[in-house]
Structure 1
């Protein structure tokens, strides 16, 4: 379930990490650290990730807690810089890559996002109407456009959709391809927009989403007939943001793809195949599906087997034919999606090329001279240095916590007011979204979950702490197979059979608390020392006014 907190922030920021034009940037200052300002915009850009990572709700307390985290990040980064850690080659490479990412995002923002017209009143009323509807849809999913096009042509020539769905999914009954109910603001934007544009019993042309190509069939429509002017006016600004964001995502994807198609790229397949083999040889075999990126050490191994001047691609830009070399791809590799890199290396190389091309066009426009861009680059440099300093402090020889520190940590964490949560549940691990959707459909239709590879059963498991899957296990409905994503290409179908809770006391948590304190005390003591010496100013009035605007007064 998407939390209200995440919606608050996502509707305020573009997917690329920048906002809908500089006019949309909230430059109000909420704090200053050693002369460096922290704006509402900077806060928003990092807060959503904090909520996702911790599984927390949007509250006054969490906003103040995150502001405190930001201040700590700046203090650590500045201290690391003073100690000379920012002069290493590793930092230089990281900052150069982040600069290119920011420049590419800003280029798209200036040339596309800022040109997007505001939604008309008619469009907002149509979005309001659709937001009161629920569609029941079925789909066919394909990896390539050509496969989807062939199926679409079959449908146009009279093929039965259910028969194709059975062939497409392997499900041998009437649930084949059935997604069920979807709301207008849920799921992939392109998929949802296409589904809500269909008449009942009609099918879409091939639609591209983040997982492939779909052909969608509208099966039914449920709606709330009550559309009042008062409710529309109340939701109008929120609808405006949602509508413009959706247009940005759908049309922005098309805009970037059009730019890439204009490059007239020619692939050097033998060399890319060699890179693919080198990657798979270099990657450690331990649970690759859990991975997010290739490690820097694996990049070093990959780079040894091929000439860095090997040509991966040729393309046309600014009237001349150019070459994209292996060294160009290596510069991005440890920041690119892991599964794509090892499974579809050609697509991964294309992603790296896109990053370089968009950044190059941003530099050509002089966007690196904008104060906003300079602030973004400076922030990511300090974050990198702060993380390096934090890692070094955590690896420092442990400091034995005092009894007072142990008790304070127990109380501040709210452990004395919480309970231990235990659950009986089962899960089925899958490595793609389409597999997970099909598994959920089959289990919901009566297939025994134990028949699937990746099935695990857990009894009396402690799910008290942790975000991500642990958070969902504490909150999802009982007795229903639920589809959950864990990142890095991992998906789970999970059913919680039973949950129980009991009060936790200090003695039960002592070992855990001591272990965490021993690990984190060097960092906490360093931050305490830095805070005593630093000039920090929190603009409480501005922060409180913003909280009131978001209904958190």
Structure 2
């Protein structure tokens, strides 16, 4: 038995949570200024740390500021430790891990290619932003009629010119019931909210005029502008306030145009052809296996899990050599497609049983394969960004596999479920509760005097309204609602130590001196444990055991490892990251037709 296996088998039965992040002021073997931490000789670079927290934050959303960023760093450290442990357990040997790793690498290479060929070349001028600002202050109300082909769009345009009714044509052409019913009404919009080509046509059209067919990435459109609202007063302060938003919109559009042009130059000579017969066969098999798509359910998009894809691929084993795609100099068979599909993360996969989604998915898979090939020609597989992205994904994946291994080993007995259920009425039923009435006096002398007066028979509620410093209770004549253990600090603790009718105090608390009487008590109540409640208790108990086991494993791995964190670098980076615009820190891939 390996030492790591013995370590894993020894982690159960302990309680405790994860320790606080290990942050030390480094002396000796001090990390460089580009390094936040070193875990067993493996660096966590400043660049990787910043990118990971902006793109995939690993902290409790209830935490803010430095504690949240500190928790993120600890998570990265834990992932490195768990990754080493997973390798010692052989969890990295699964062929699916290697396939997914290759996909992640290709994806990161395409992102880096986008940066080098597009992002670095795009410049946004002040003149472009001021023109955009004018459009941004013009709101447009428009309708459109959609057509899939240019010929169809020309026929619709000609019909409208010859007096055809707009609403009738819209009802005939739209598959969307809402747009069919409202005549393609898009409501009001402004700059940056529509497809750039569609938007440009709207801004150039006079109110009431019908456009000639306009081509966008979605298809063809006939547009009618219903109205325009122009803000006549444009100020420098408004321009400055909207500068970042306008710059993002203009930059994104220029980047997309440049990327589309590059993809077009790359892909057009390849003459990619989807083989109709093989494609129809693939759709037929997918619909037979997964069922026909729910036309009413567009969101959330159904996700095809790894097990489903593997099983589907096995059912198509006799047809793997059928040619699905041809291009100049090569081809993809159904088997090639299925292998690439298996490598993709589930959320990235097309809907296999939807012809439209599958067609687009194959198109993008082909595109990305050739973009990755171009990136590899430039040696981008060795770029620091690519290597960092692959490492972050790999360590995150290995950590999830270790967590799954722990979860699969957790065992819960019926007796443990029964005991946990009975010990936690506050979670599954009604906990024990008490009720009090209280007067909070400003000083001890007044509190003693008031206690004597109420014991002598004076009206408690009147005295509470007159003298109590606890305003909300004073309004209620000093009455507290029933409360459970853990409420109201010291007086709550004392209330549970006394019987109904007992007087307590004076007790020094924040704000003064409390005197109170216990006026009610409710025993804890647990409902009968039905199947649903049994499952909930078992789930909670498993989560508790997992937390203890996982925490112990992490502590043992930390104790056996050398972890050095450059505290000054961490704090500097934390300040920089905390000031960045989280909402728009996203990395895009090259997209194209």
Q: Calculate the TM-score normalised by the size of structure 2.
A: 0.59
**Secondary structure, aligned partner of 1:262:** helix
> 2-side partners of 1:249 and 1:58: how far apart?
34
> 2-side partners of 1:238 and 1:374: how far apart?
32
Match of 1:88 among 79, 91, 94: 94
**Residue in 2 aligned with 1:120?**
125
Match of 2:553 among 498, 523, 526: 526
> 2-side partners of 1:96 and 1:106: how far apart?
15
- Give the deviation of 1:220 after TM superposition: 2.2
- Give the deviation of 1:123 after TM superposition: 0.5
CA contact (8 A) 1:184 1:193 kept: no
Q: 2:412 matched to 1:386?
A: no
Q: How many residues align?
A: 422
**Residue in 2 aligned with 1:281?**
288
* CA deviation profile, 1:51-76 (whole Å, cap 9, x unmatched): 9x999898666555545444444443
* CA deviation profile, 1:92-131 (whole Å, cap 9, x unmatched): 1111222222223333443344333x11111111222333
Match of 1:540 among 559, 566, 571: 571
Match of 2:237 among 215, 230, 248: 230
Q: State which structure, 1 or 2, has the greater radius of gyration over its C-alpha atoms.
A: 2
Any stretches of 5+ residues in structure 1 without a counterpart?
A: 1-26, 411-506
Match of 2:225 among 215, 218, 222: 218
**Residue in 1 aligned with 2:376?**
363
- Give the deviation of 1:238 after TM superposition: 4.8
Q: 2:240 matched to 1:240?
A: no
CA contact (8 A) 1:311 1:323 kept: yes
Q: Give the direction of change, closer, same or farther, for the CA distance of 1:328–1:235 in structure 2 (3 Å limit).
A: same
**Residue in 2 aligned with 1:292?**
303
CA contact (8 A) 2:140 2:189 kept: yes
> 1-side partners of 2:205 and 2:60: how far apart?
38
CA contact (8 A) 1:200 1:218 kept: yes
> 1-side partners of 2:37 and 2:157: how far apart?
55
> 2-side partners of 1:89 and 1:327: how far apart?
16
- Give the deviation of 1:329 after TM superposition: 0.8
**Residue in 2 aligned with 1:24?**
none
- Give the deviation of 1:244 after TM superposition: 0.6
> 2-side partners of 1:146 and 1:387: how far apart?
52
CA contact (8 A) 2:324 2:333 kept: yes
**Residue in 2 aligned with 1:135?**
140
Match of 2:207 among 185, 192, 200: 200
Higher RCO structure (Cα 8 Å, ≥6 apart) = 2
**Residue in 2 aligned with 1:249?**
256
Q: Give the direction of change, closer, same or farther, for the CA distance of 1:162–1:328 in structure 2 (3 Å limit).
A: same
Q: CA RMSD for the aligned pairs?
A: 4.4
**1:48-197 counterparts in 2 under 5 A?**
48=55, 63=69, 65-116=71-122, 118-142=123-147, 147-148=152-153, 150-152=155-157, 154-155=159-160, 159-169=164-174, 175-186=182-193, 191-192=198-199, 195-196=202-203
**Secondary structure, aligned partner of 2:183:** coil
Q: Give the direction of change, closer, same or farther, for the CA distance of 1:174–1:103 in structure 2 (3 Å limit).
A: closer
- Give the deviation of 1:397 after TM superposition: 0.6
- Give the deviation of 1:315 after TM superposition: 1.0
Q: Calculate the TM-score normalised by the size of structure 1.
A: 0.63
> 2-side partners of 1:180 and 1:55: how far apart?
36
CA contact (8 A) 2:170 2:179 kept: no
- Give the deviation of 1:276 after TM superposition: 1.9
* CA deviation profile, 1:348-395 (whole Å, cap 9, x unmatched): 322221121111121122222322222222222222222222222232
Match of 2:275 among 268, 280, 283: 268
> 1-side partners of 2:135 and 2:60: how far apart?
32
> 1-side partners of 2:194 and 2:545: how far apart?
42
**Residue in 1 aligned with 2:322?**
310
- Give the deviation of 1:283 after TM superposition: 2.5
* CA deviation profile, 1:276-318 (whole Å, cap 9, x unmatched): 22222333789895522353443443344344332212212xx
Q: 2:358 matched to 1:327?
A: no
